[in-house]
């Protein structure tokens, strides 16, 4: 009988794991191998580049001083025998050798007229570059000085020029460390030279000519010189505030600039007035000061009951309504339900000392008998006499089986608390100027037109320290006030300053959108006010108080559409003349 020997083998999963581990190991080995090749190749290539750079420097050191320079160079660069750029091939790889020789003016032996020649020594800079699989470069610099004053003087004779001394101060007169100073050809715009002096000032040896100077620094403002005929913000400068400096042979030309850390404005646009309100949807008794023979159940006020049914009458008073910054009362509104045989009327009381009295009909017609139609206009009430109000609700029934029901009431008023004004155009102008135009009109350094966003806000960054003036950008809106005030508003360096702009117009509509049941404001409700005949069509969104204000329209009839997610849309007609207030309740 044959017997078979069982031998244990590898499963497919074990084989795959082994293969994966092998791949990981060999990938690492290959990566290390590649890195080694790259290091060796770069080391070899860099050694060749260093040798080429050293050869250039040694050649410069062994040449006569007047020959150390590049061909056809112009101050501040020295003329000489070197090519500014040349190529050579070593070990099958092409190298590019870039040479630059710049004159340096040293303050140690004086500058300007106190120095016979301001071209004190030469700074020899060589850069060797290569391409290929692993490109790179090597840079080397050395200073080469003349042997004596004769060689130095010959430099000035060989390349006549002068000295442009640039100083950079901050807003308080202190030197700015390491600003970027750029010197441009005033005709071609070509960059001639640049430097970032740690001391904030630097002397540039330059050929006799006129130059444009630009001074900047990261997170700092920018300052520059201009020439007559230069264009700035689409305006032609005829008389520059800081003219382009001219360098004269064997002379020192001095020019100074002021830069400092940039600042910003946080701008908010408002109307001069707003609307406040007192409301109660009777979720509890917290806003009721007194009641008799009435009960509150499930957010509704009704007559109390006895064993025989509803009582015949009852009343309730709201708490004291005492608005701050009151300009005028607006209206009383209410929501109720009266079945046949029941009645619900409303009256308003005012405070005199510690007592409360019914407002006479002479000031509020029909108040003695009570109001039963909503809304009730309160705009004729004197805010001096009637600075505090209470609402009284009178409930009555002719049947013990029925009662009137009060769901909510509300009193609104106009106050001097501003309302956010969305999407307002305004102008902002600084006091610093760059020059005058052909009509001798000032061309300002900062002068923009912009607008706030849909919430009445705008951040304006990267502003130079200056005195700024705001003005309205819309003919139908007037800028009534600013905070801070007065204008111009001073903006210090490295500052974020909040500025409130208060606008007014001949006609406006302040809209309040609220929940019809709870009377709570509805945020971000869309309100469209339009009139085809008057050419007006604006859409805005309510703020957290459920309010938005339309301004700058003509007097006349308009259509108003209001909608919000989760609510039924509504539309109505509104006549606008002067300052108007409207409350929309959405269900």
Query: Mind listing the pLDDT tens digit for each residue in 312-325?
Result: 999 999 999 999 99
Taking the C-alpha atoms of residue 278 and residue 552, their distance in angstroms, rounded to an integer, is: 28
How high is the pLDDT of residue 25?
A: 73
- Candidate from 87-96, 167-176, 302-311, 404-413 with smallest mean pLDDT: 87-96
Is 90 exceeded by the pLDDT of residue 440?
yes
DSSP string, 299-311: TEEEE-EETTEE-
Specify whether the CB–CB gap between 485 and 497 falls below 8 A.
no
How high is the pLDDT of residue 332?
A: 95
How high is the pLDDT of residue 158?
A: 83
Taking the C-alpha atoms of residue 278 and residue 296, their distance in angstroms, rounded to an integer, is: 19
Instruction: Name the strands in the sheet holding 239-240, side by side, starting at the edge strand that comes first in the sequence.
Output: 239-240, 433-436, 442-444
How high is the pLDDT of residue 1?
A: 46
Is 70 exceeded by the pLDDT of residue 46?
yes
Three-state SS for 10? coil
**Architecture in CATH of 508-586:** Sandwich (2.60)
- Candidate from 2-6, 194-198, 340-344, 553-557 with smallest mean pLDDT: 2-6
List all residues 6 or more positions away from 234 whose beta carbon is below 8 Å from its beta carbon: none
Taking the C-alpha atoms of residue 250 and residue 117, their distance in angstroms, rounded to an integer, is: 7
Specify the residue for token string 């070509």. Answer: 190
Average pLDDT over residues 525-537: 93
Report the range out of 8-22, 49-63, 486-500 with the highest average pLDDT. Answer: 486-500
- pLDDT tier for residue 131 given thresholds of 50, 70 and 90: confident
Domains 161-258 and 274-415 share a fold: no
Average pLDDT over residues 25-52: 72
Is 50 exceeded by the pLDDT of residue 228?
yes
Between the two ends of the chain, the Cα-to-Cα distance in Å is 95
Is 70 exceeded by the pLDDT of residue 31?
no
DSSP string, 32-56: HHHHHHHHHHHHHHHHHHHHHHHHH
Exposure pattern of 186-214 as b/e (b: 16+ CB <10 Å)?
Answer: beeeeebbebebeebbbbbbbbebebbbb
Task: Provide the CATH topology of domain 274-415.
Answer: Jelly Rolls (2.60.120)
How high is the pLDDT of residue 221?
A: 96
How high is the pLDDT of residue 7?
A: 53
Is 90 exceeded by the pLDDT of residue 268?
yes
Three-state SS for 508? strand
Query: Mind listing the pLDDT tens digit for each residue in 470-512?
Result: 999 988 899 999 999 999 999 999 999 999 999 999 998 888 9
Alpha helices in 147-199 (DSSP H): 149-158
Distances (CA, A) of 290 to 92, 128, 293, 294, 320: 103, 94, 11, 10, 11
Specify whether the CB–CB gap between 479 and 489 falls below 8 A.
no
* % the chain with pLDDT above 90: 64
Is 90 exceeded by the pLDDT of residue 136?
no
How high is the pLDDT of residue 110?
A: 61
Phi, psi (degrees; rounded to nearest 5) at 210: -110, 135
Distances (CA, A) of 252 to 248, 571, 574: 7, 76, 74
List all residues 6 or more positions away from 257 whose beta carbon is below 8 Å from its beta carbon: 166, 167, 168, 169, 213, 215, 223, 224, 242
DSSP label of 272: S
* Nearest alpha-carbon partner for 338 in 368, 316, 371, 306: 371
Three-state SS for 98? strand
Structure tokens at 173: 């007169």
Specify the residue for token string 């559409």. Answer: 561
Which helix (DSSP H) or strand (DSSP E) does residue 478 occupy? strand 478-483
Which helix (DSSP H) or strand (DSSP E) does residue 327 occupy? strand 326-337
Task: Provide the CATH topology of domain 161-258.
Answer: Immunoglobulin-like (2.60.40)
Domain boundaries, the chain: 42-158, 161-258, 274-415, 420-504, 508-586
Exposure pattern of 21-46 as b/e (b: 16+ CB <10 Å)?
Answer: eeeeeeeeeeeeeeeeeeeeeeeebb
How high is the pLDDT of residue 4?
A: 46
Average pLDDT over residues 205-227: 95
Is 60 exceeded by the pLDDT of residue 299?
yes
Query: Mind listing the pLDDT tens digit for each residue in 371-399?
Result: 999 999 999 999 999 999 999 999 999 99
Taking the C-alpha atoms of residue 261 and residue 174, their distance in angstroms, rounded to an integer, is: 13
Query: Mind listing the pLDDT tens digit for each residue in 311-370?
Result: 999 999 999 999 999 999 999 999 999 999 999 999 999 999 889 999 999 999 999 999
How high is the pLDDT of residue 551?
A: 87
How high is the pLDDT of residue 2?
A: 47
How high is the pLDDT of residue 399?
A: 93
Specify whether the CB–CB gap between 78 and 65 falls below 8 A.
no
């Amino acid at each position: 009988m044959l017997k078979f020997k069982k031998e244990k083998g590898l499963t497919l999963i074990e084989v795959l794991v082994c293969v994966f581990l092998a791949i990981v190991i060999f990938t690492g080995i290959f990566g290390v191998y590649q890195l080694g090749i790259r290091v060796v190749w770069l080391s070899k290539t860099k050694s060749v580049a260093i040798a080429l750079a050293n050869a250039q420097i040694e050649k410069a050191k062994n040449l006569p001083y007047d020959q150390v320079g590049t061909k056809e160079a112009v101050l501040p660069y020295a003329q000489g025998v070197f090519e500014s750029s040349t190529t050579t091939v070593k070990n099958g790889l092409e190298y590019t050798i870039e040479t630059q020789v710049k004159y340096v003016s040293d303050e140690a032996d004086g500058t300007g007229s106190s120095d016979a020649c301001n071209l004190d020594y030469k700074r020899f800079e060589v850069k060797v570059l290569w391409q290929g699989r692993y490109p790179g470069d090597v840079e080397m610099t050395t200073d080469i000085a003349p042997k004596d004053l004769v060689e130095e003087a010959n430099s000035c004779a060989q390349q006549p020029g002068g000295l442009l001394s640039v100083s950079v101060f901050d807003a308080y007169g202190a030197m700015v460390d390491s600003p970027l100073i750029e010197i441009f050809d005033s005709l071609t715009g070509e960059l001639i030279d640049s430097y970032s002096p740690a001391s904030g000032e630097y002397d540039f040896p330059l050929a006799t000519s006129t130059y444009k100077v630009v001074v900047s620094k990261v997170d700092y403002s920018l300052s520059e010189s201009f020439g007559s005929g230069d264009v700035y913000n689409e305006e032609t400068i005829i008389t520059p505030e800081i003219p382009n400096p001219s360098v004269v042979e064997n002379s020192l030309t001095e020019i100074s600039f002021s830069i400092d850390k940039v600042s910003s404005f946080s701008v908010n646009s408002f109307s001069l007035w707003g609307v406040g309100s007192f409301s109660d949807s009777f979720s509890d008794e917290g806003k009721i000061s007194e009641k008799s023979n009435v009960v509150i159940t499930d957010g509704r006020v009704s007559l109390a009951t006895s064993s025989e049914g509803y009582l015949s009458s009852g009343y309730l008073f709201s708490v004291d309504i005492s608005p701050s910054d009151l300009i005028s009362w607006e209206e009383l509104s209410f929501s109720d339900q009266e079945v046949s045989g029941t009645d619900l009327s409303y009256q308003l009381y005012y405070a005199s000392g510690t007592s409360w009295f019914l407002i006479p009909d002479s000031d509020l017609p029909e108040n003695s008998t009570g109001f039963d139609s909503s809304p009730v206009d309160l705009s004729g009430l004197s805010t001096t006499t009637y600075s505090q109000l209470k609402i009284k609700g009178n409930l009555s029934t002719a049947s013990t089986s029925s009662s009137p029901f009060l769901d909510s009431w509300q009193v609104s008023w106009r106050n001097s608390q501003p309302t956010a004004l969305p999407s307002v155009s305004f102008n902002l102008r600084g006091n610093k100027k760059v020059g005058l135009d052909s009509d001798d009109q000032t061309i300002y350094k900062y002068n923009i037109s912009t607008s706030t966003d849909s919430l009445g806000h705008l951040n304006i960054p990267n502003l130079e320290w200056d005195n700024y003036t705001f003005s309205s950008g819309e003919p139908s809106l007037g800028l009534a006030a600013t905070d801070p005030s007065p204008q111009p508003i001073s903006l210090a360096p490295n500052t974020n300053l909040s500025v409130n702009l208060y606008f007014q117009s001949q006609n406006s509509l302040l809209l309040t959108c609220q929940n019809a049941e709870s009377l709570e404001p509805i945020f971000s409700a869309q309100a469209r006010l339009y009139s085809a005949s008057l050419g007006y069509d604006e859409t805005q969104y309510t703020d957290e108080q459920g309010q938005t204000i339309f301004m700058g329209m003509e007097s006349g009839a308009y259509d108003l559409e209001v909608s919000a997610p989760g609510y039924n849309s509504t539309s109505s007609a509104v006549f606008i003349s002067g300052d108007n207030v409207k409350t929309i309740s959405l269900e």
